[in-house]
C-alpha cells in the first residue's frame, strides 16, 4: 500500500527550482507542477509554486537565472543571432 505524500512546502519547491538551468527548466517545471497539483488553487504553497513555474518558463528562453554581474548589451553585434547573456528576468523573445 502506497503511503500518502506529505503536503509539499515552499522548501520543497525551492529544492527543485534552486539549481535550475535553462537546459532543464521545463523538466523541473513539470516536477514542480506535479508536486503541487493536488493542493487547492488558493493554497499559499501552490501560488508560490506557480510563480516559480513562471520563472522556469522564462528561464527556458534565457541563458542564465542570475540577476547579478554584468550583462552583455543587446545592441552588441551578433546578439540577435547568438545571445550570450539573457537572464530569466529578460529572456529571449519567443520565435
pLDDT at 8: 94
62: DSSP letter:
S
pTM over 0.75: no
- Residue 68 lies inside a defined structural domain of this protein: no
Domain-embedded: residue 15: yes
Q: pLDDT-derived band of residue 62, with 50, 70 and 90 as boundaries?
A: confident
Does 65 fall in a domain? no
How many structural domains is the chain composed of?
A: 1
Residue pair 79/92 in contact (Cβ under 8 Å)? The answer is: no
Q: 17 lies in a domain?
A: yes
26, 48 Cβ separation under 8 angstroms = no
- Is 3 a domain residue? no
Residue 40 belongs to domain spanning: 10-59
Q: Is 72 among the domain residues? A: no
- E strand or H helix that includes residue 36: helix 25-36
User: What average pLDDT does the chain have?
Assistant: 82
Amino acid at each position: 500500500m502506497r503511503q500518502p505524500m506529505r503536503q509539499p512546502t515552499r522548501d520543497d519547491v525551492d529544492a527543485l527550482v534552486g539549481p535550475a538551468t535553462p537546459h532543464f527548466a521545463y523538466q523541473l517545471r513539470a516536477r514542480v507542477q506535479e508536486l503541487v497539483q493536488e493542493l487547492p488553487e488558493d493554497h499559499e504553497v501552490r501560488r508560490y509554486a506557480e510563480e516559480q513555474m513562471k520563472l522556469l518558463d522564462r528561464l527556458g528562453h534565457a541563458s542564465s537565472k542570475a540577476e547579478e554581474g554584468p550583462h552583455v548589451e543587446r545592441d552588441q553585434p551578433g546578439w540577435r543571432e547568438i545571445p550570450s547573456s539573457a537572464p530569466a528576468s529578460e529572456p529571449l523573445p519567443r520565435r
